C-alpha cells in the first residue's frame, strides 16, 4: 500500500500556488483601491481574506504601513499626477461644480475607484490596454447619481446641464491634447465623436451658449462668435501639433463633419485644413 503527501492534483489545480499576471494585477488593484479589503487585511490577517493559497502567499509578505502609504500615494497620483497631470488638472471647472454639491476629493475618489469606468482605465503599467484617466473620470462623473443627503450634481449644479457640458468639454480638451502630443499614445479612446484628421484629431459637441464665453480661454479659436440663444451650439475641438483650438461653428460645418457621406464633407475639411485646424 502506498501513501502520498501534499494536495492532490485536483486540489492543487483548484488552489494554485502562484498567481498569474492577471490575478496578480487584480490583487494589487484591490489592495490599492478597496479600503474594506485593505482594512480586513489589517484587522483579520491574510489567512482570513485570501481567496486561495497563492493570494495568501502574497498577502502574508505585505507590510501594512507600507501598503497604507502606497495606497495614499496611488490616490494622490490619480488626483494630482506628475508634472501637472491628473484629475485636478484636467477638470478644474467640473470639480468646482461638483464641490458645490458635496462631492469633495475624498468622496469623488472613493466612488470613482469603485466604478466600472475605473476598471476600464489601465491603472498599472504593463497591464494591457485601457482608456485614459481623463476619459474614465469624465465618463464616471457625468453619470453620478443623486444622494438625498448631500445633493445630486445632475440636478443641483447650475441646472445639471452646466456640469455635464463642462465635464465633456474638459474631457475632450485633455484627450485631444494627449492624442497629439503623447508619443507613443499609451491608451485607447472609446469616444466615437473623436475623429482623426490630417494632422491630428478633432471632435464636435453641442454646448449651451451661456457657457461658451467662460471656456474661450484658448490661444486659438476654431469657430465664430456665438449669438445669444438657448439652443445648444455646435462646437469644434481641433488638436494638431500647432496646438488646441476650440470654438462654435455653424450647424452646416458640424453636420458636414459628423454625418457620414455628407456632400460637403471634403469641402469643409479642406477649409479647416487651410486654417491649420485639420
Tell me the pLDDT tens digit for each residue of 135-171.
Answer: 999 999 998 744 433 444 444 444 456 899 999 999 9
- pLDDT of 153: 40
Over residues 69-117, the pLDDT tens digits come to 999 999 999 999 765 579 999 999 999 999 998 899 999 999 999 999 9
- pLDDT of 93: 93
> How does residue 207 score in pLDDT terms, banded at 50, 70 and 90?
very high
- pLDDT of 158: 40
Query: DSSP assignment of the chain, as one string?
Result: -----S--HHHHHHS-SS--HHHHHHHHHHHHH-HHHHHHHHHH-HHHH-SSHHHHHHHTT--HHHHHHHHHHHHHHHHH-STT-SHHHH-HHHHHHHHHTT--HHHHHHHHHTSHHHHTB--STTS---B-HHHHHHHHHHTPPP-TTT--HHHHSTTTHHHHHHHHHHHHHHHHHHHHHSSS---B---TT-EE-SSSEEEEEEE-HHHHHHH--SSEE-S-PPPS-SS-EEEEEEEETTEEEEEE--HHHHHHHHSTT-TTHHHHHHHHHHTT--
Over residues 236-269, the pLDDT tens digits come to 999 999 999 999 999 999 999 999 999 999 999 9
Residue 184 or 147, more confident: 184
> How does residue 217 score in pLDDT terms, banded at 50, 70 and 90?
low
The pTM assigned to this predicted structure is: 0.81
- pLDDT of 157: 41
- ∠ at Cα 134 (218, 255), nearest 5°? 60
- pLDDT of 73: 92
Amino acid at each position: 500500500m502506498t501513501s502520498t503527501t501534499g494536495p492532490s492534483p485536483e486540489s492543487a489545480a483548484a488552489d494554485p500556488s502562484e498567481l498569474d499576471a492577471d490575478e496578480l494585477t487584480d490583487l494589487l488593484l484591490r489592495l490599492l483601491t478597496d479600503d474594506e479589503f485593505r482594512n480586513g487585511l489589517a484587522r483579520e490577517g491574510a489567512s482570513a481574506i485570501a481567496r486561495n493559497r497563492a493570494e495568501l502567499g502574497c498577502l502574508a509578505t505585505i507590510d501594512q504601513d507600507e501598503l497604507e502609504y502606497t495606497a495614499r500615494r496611488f490616490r494622490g497620483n490619480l488626483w494630482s499626477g506628475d508634472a501637472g497631470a491628473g484629475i485636478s488638472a484636467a477638470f478644474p471647472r467640473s470639480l468646482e461644480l461638483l464641490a458645490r454639491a458635496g462631492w469633495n476629493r475624498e468622496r469623488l475618489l472613493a466612488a470613482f475607484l469603485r466604478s466600472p469606468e475605473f476598471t476600464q482605465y489601465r491603472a498599472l503599467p504593463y497591464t494591457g490596454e485601457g482608456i485614459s484617466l481623463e476619459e474614465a473620470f469624465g465618463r464616471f462623473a457625468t453619470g453620478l447619481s443623486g444622494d438625498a443627503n448631500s445633493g445630486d450634481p445632475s440636478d443641483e449644479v447650475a441646472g445639471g446641464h452646466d456640469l455635464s457640458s463642462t465635464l465633456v468639454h474638459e474631457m475632450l480638451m485633455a484627450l485631444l491634447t494627449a492624442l497629439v502630443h503623447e508619443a507613443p499614445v499609451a491608451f485607447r479612446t472609446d469616444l466615437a465623436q473623436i475623429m482623426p484628421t490630417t494632422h491630428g484629431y478633432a471632435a464636435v459637441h453641442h454646448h449651451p451658449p451661456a457657457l461658451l464665453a467662460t471656456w474661450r480661454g484658448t490661444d486659438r479659436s476654431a469657430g465664430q462668435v456665438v449669438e445669444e440663444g438657448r439652443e445648444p451650439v455646435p462646437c469644434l475641438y481641433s488638436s494638431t501639433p500647432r496646438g488646441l483650438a476650440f470654438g462654435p461653428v455653424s450647424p452646416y460645418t458640424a453636420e458636414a463633419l459628423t454625418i457620414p457621406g455628407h456632400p460637403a464633407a471634403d469641402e469643409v475639411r479642406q477649409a479647416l485644413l487651410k486654417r491649420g485646424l485639420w
